[in-house]
Amino acid sequence: MATAQGGMASSFTENFNDSILRNFRYGSTGVQDDFKWKTGVESTVEPGTKILRFVIDPADSAGPGRGPEIISRDYTSYGSYSARIKIPDVRKVQPNTGAVVGYFTYNMDSVLGLSEIDIEWLVADPHILYIGTWTGFEGRLQRIGRTIDLSKGQIYYTISKVGYAGPPTTLTGLQNEPETIPAIADFDASARFYTYGFDWYPDRMRWWIINPITGEKIILWDYTGSKLGIPTNKTRYRMNFWHTGNWAVETDPLSVEKPLHRFEVEVDWMKYAALP
C-alpha cells in the first residue's frame, strides 16, 4: 500500500478496474480533458478486463507529459516494477503517427540529479521496444539504452551516451547481456496485452517481458559490471502517452506526424515490489 502523498511507497498493485486511483494521480501538463483518461473501462481486445484508458488528443502539443499521464503519489526506489499494457495500432489509419507510449520512472532532484528508467514504444512500429535509463543533470544527462525488435529477436544497439544528441558508445561485456534475445512469435505490442517489467538494484538493471504463450520470462537486458547509468535516488512511477515531432522509430523515418485521431492505450495493472 502507499503512504501519505510525498512519502516512500511500500509494495502495491494498482488494478484499474474501478474509477478510483489509489496509488497514482493524474499528472499531464497538457490541457485537462476527462476523455483523455479513464479507469474501469472495458478492454477493446479482452472482454471482461477493466483497464485504464489513455486517449491522445490531436490538439495536444508535442512533448513528454503533454498527453495523458499518471504519476505515483509517493516516491518509489529499488525493487521490481511490472505492468500489463497494450499500445494502439495506428498502421491502417495513420502509419506515420509520431507518438510515444511511456512506462517509466522519473524524478529530477536538484542535488542528486535525474532518476529515470524507461520502457517505451513508438506506435508507428509496435514490434520495437526502447529500454534504458537517464541519470545526471540537465546539460549533461547520461543515457544507457537498448533498442530491440522482439518480433525478430533483433537487438539494434546497446549504447551509452551523454546528452540527447551525444555520440553513442557501444556497450560490451557484462553491460551487454544477453547478447542475443529469442524472438517472440507474432510479437505485436498493439495486438494484445503483454506483461513488461524491470528490476532496479543498486548495482544492476534488468528489463524483461513475459511470453504470453509459454509464460517464460525473457530477459531483454541484464546490465551489470558498472554503476554508470544506474539511478541512485528516489523516483516517481509513471505511465504516459504523448506526441513526438522529432523522434522517429528505427523502421520509419517519417513517423513524426502529429496524431490526427484519438488513439488509445490500455493498461490492465501496474505493480511495484520494493526491495526488502
How confident is the model over 94-116, as pLDDT tens digits?
999 999 999 999 999 999 999 99
Q: Can you tell me the distance from the alpha carbon of 21 to that of 82, in angstroms, rounded to the nearest whole number?
A: 17
- Average confidence (pLDDT) over 150-167: 96
**Both ends of the chain: CA-CA distance in Å?**
14
- 140-149 and 154-162 strand pairing: antiparallel
Burial class (CB in 10 A: 0-12, 13-18, 19+), 263: buried
Angle at alpha carbon of residue 160, lines to 158 and 161, rounded to 5°: 135
Q: What is the 3-state secondary structure (H, E, C) of 147-163?
A: EEECCCCEEEEEEEEEC
Mean pLDDT, the chain, integer = 95
Q: What pLDDT does 5 receive?
A: 58
Phi and psi dihedrals of 87, rounded to 5?
-90, 165
pLDDT above 80: residue 31? no
Instruction: Read off the pLDDT of each residue in 50-67 and give the average, rounded to a whole number.
Output: 94
In angstroms, the CA 251 to CA 121 distance is 13
What's the average model confidence in pLDDT over 78-104? 98
**Distance (Å, rounded) from C-alpha 41 to C-alpha 18?**
8
Given a cut of 60, whether residue 1 has pLDDT beyond it is no
- pLDDT tens track for 241-251: 999 999 999 99
* pLDDT tens, residue by residue, 196-216: 999 999 999 999 999 999 999
Q: What is the DSSP letter of 183?
A: P
Local confidence band at 259 (pLDDT 50, 70, 90 cut-offs): very high
Yes or no: domain 75-274 corresponds to CATH 3.30.470.20? no
Residues whose CB falls within 8 Å of the CB of residue 71, separated by 6 or more in sequence, listed in order: 24, 25, 26, 27, 236, 237, 238
Position 260: which residue type? L
Map out the domains of the chain as residue ranges: 75-274
